[in-house]
Structure 1
């Protein structure tokens, strides 16, 4: 073969490799991971004249999720033994906004079918009772509207994540799969596919792109000693913990006065002051929640939670329950019958108002991307924005 022929063949091989549909691993089945898979499929299909005619031309996407379900819009529920009703708590994100045109357009299909709905909550400021016996003080703060809509998923906050997963056509989701740190078992070589392993050393396959969408503390561990060129930037955003207290009552007649009085029944969300608690959400008053037993979700403040992030969960529950009793002012006959507590170790992203968001972290040699809401503003819209940036980075390398 002549030098010119060899060069031409090399160029042909490079073009083929560049345009071939890649194998893509997404670590984490939260909303960032689901959005990334959905946008990849959509943009690839659009490049193929808007239709998925040949599956072999589509990227092979695999999502590895350590839990049993997708989406970080977590819902917990319990069924009552005596009747066909249940308590339900959105103990993760309570709602989200769509401030950019791209994200607003993206959610339109789910608004149209009613899976997503605006929450027109009545919001109050709440000053808990004090040791002198003063009752809680409620003051109207604002009424949420459709002009600055806060959206929820119905009938559960997890419903949207499951719908996103169900709509994926070229994506496989492997649940209950923990991906080991990239350097633990693999022979890592730049410009070659990355072989992933689970935490017991079993190979999960080789991938052209690896996208890590976990919280930054977990991303730091996954990429440790791997040669990831952006490793030192992962911990730039500060993430704080959050404890969530979930309370349930058997009947509206059993609710404490702060929830059941004429003043109390007219509010849906409370912002708290002089308390370890930050916000209270009345679940059974949300849209499409009419059949629920009385359910209330309470978020502790991030600062209070972070200071106690490694404390015993039962001790935390006792402390939060005492604070909730001061806020809602119950007695023995109006005390909650259902009590639960959850710890989010990575719940809120702290961004100084003068700082720009981090953005996704890309290693072009290894074709690794670290992404997540914490790379943006730390909210659900940031999940979408970081997913879009990730897809853009991948698509650039596969275009002619």
Structure 2
């Protein structure tokens, strides 16, 4: 009989791990959100959509390139070749070259995860609140103290703060102490495309804003539904994390208009999303790409193990899957 394995979090790391261990274990995934996404989330309303987390990703390792190949062939992943510039409040903008392929999922960033989910056993809208030991099994409970199941192994692919809260510190020791996450604000706008500059995305310097993307110009999107995603610097977000959210939104709206010369009247909708755990602090010399306690049958993985980036989520889970295959055999 295969061992049972619970994976907390159904983002790229959790799905990668589940796919790679499907032959070795009976796997259940638990995702607190209503849909798949994590940092690759896509928000929608009746007429528009915004990729308000990761805007693109690279594929620098052969393992990740191999993982993406069938999804590129199927059209779920498309190379993005934007007209990208560098902006700052005081200097003239200049074109920003990219020297490696950059990809997006289409028609939304979360469609890669939907394509990966396949026949996996995923329970959405299910928050794992506590993980406790009962004889030789791990028991998972939701926020209503209802038992979600008993498992031989538990792996958290959730963001670092949730992983720290869920997995017993007494069993993992100080393994998680070297990792840190940082906040970010995402400002989501609707603007008629004719009112926007000719470029597609901008890296911003010397500003509260660090990134601007005209989301509707990404491959596979509705090019007529003008949408903009603005991301802030993490240090600015940390400084203003608990400020009045309407004031934060107004500051960012004003800054966006000043940087782009878009007139405020052209903006027909503005929403603010606060990512408390958006970016992973760079790990200078990570001790491992994942956390693993074989004796206790506990593990953790995620992009936070390798300093962020979409590919880091894959790499952490891919390395953990290789280690677990040896002990699950």
Pairing 1:219–2:163 present: yes
Deviation of 1:77 after TM superposition, in Å, equals 2.3
Corresponding position of 2:151: 207
State the TM-score, normalizing by the size of structure 2.
0.93
Identify unmatched segments of 5+ residues in structure 1.
1-19, 45-57, 80-85, 130-135
Pairing 1:301–2:233 present: yes
Corresponding position of 1:196: 140
Deviation of 1:274 after TM superposition, in Å, equals 2.4
Pairing 1:383–2:313 present: yes
CA distance in 2, matches of 1:149, 1:284: 20
Pairing 1:34–2:6 present: no
Q: Is the 8 A contact 1:372 1:386 kept in 2?
A: yes
Q: Is the 8 A contact 2:289 2:315 kept in 1?
A: no
Pairing 1:316–2:264 present: no
For residue 126 of structure 1, the aligned residue among 84, 87, 102 is 87
Q: In 2 relative to 1, CA 371–337 (structure 1 residues): closer, same or farther, beyond 3 Å?
A: same
Corresponding position of 1:369: 299
CA distance in 2, matches of 1:287, 1:390: 32
Pairing 1:246–2:195 present: no
Q: Which deviations, in whole Å up to 9, do the C-alpha atoms of 1:48-104 show, x marking residues without a partner? A: xxxxxxxxxx6221111111011221111233xxxxxx3221100001111011110
Corresponding position of 2:50: 89
For residue 268 of structure 2, the aligned residue among 321, 324, 337 is 337
Corresponding residue SS for 2:48: strand
Q: In 2 relative to 1, CA 100–332 (structure 1 residues): closer, same or farther, beyond 3 Å?
A: closer
For residue 270 of structure 1, the aligned residue among 202, 216, 231 is 202
CA distance in 1, matches of 2:168, 2:133: 14
Q: Is the 8 A contact 2:217 2:223 kept in 1?
A: no
Q: Which deviations, in whole Å up to 9, do the C-alpha atoms of 1:248-295 show, x marking residues without a partner? A: 12x334x1xxx3xxxx31x21111122100011111222122444111
Deviation of 1:187 after TM superposition, in Å, equals 4.1
CA distance in 2, matches of 1:329, 1:208: 57
Q: Is the 8 A contact 1:357 1:375 kept in 2?
A: no
Deviation of 1:195 after TM superposition, in Å, equals 1.4
Q: Which deviations, in whole Å up to 9, do the C-alpha atoms of 1:179-225 show, x marking residues without a partner? A: 1222xxx3445xx2211111211111110110001111111111245
Corresponding residue SS for 2:308: coil
Identify unmatched segments of 5+ residues in structure 2.
none
Q: Is the 8 A contact 1:220 1:231 kept in 2?
A: no
Q: In 2 relative to 1, CA 313–357 (structure 1 residues): closer, same or farther, beyond 3 Å?
A: farther
For residue 346 of structure 1, the aligned residue among 261, 270, 277 is 277
Pairing 1:138–2:97 present: no
Deviation of 1:238 after TM superposition, in Å, equals 2.0
Corresponding residue SS for 1:233: coil
Deviation of 1:314 after TM superposition, in Å, equals 2.2
Deviation of 1:309 after TM superposition, in Å, equals 2.2
Q: Which deviations, in whole Å up to 9, do the C-alpha atoms of 1:325-360 show, x marking residues without a partner? A: 211223354x300111111111111225x4236421
The 10-residue stretch of structure 1 (206-215 or 384-393) with the greater mean CA deviation from structure 2: 384-393
Which structure has the bigger radius of gyration? 1
- Corresponding residue pairs, total: 328
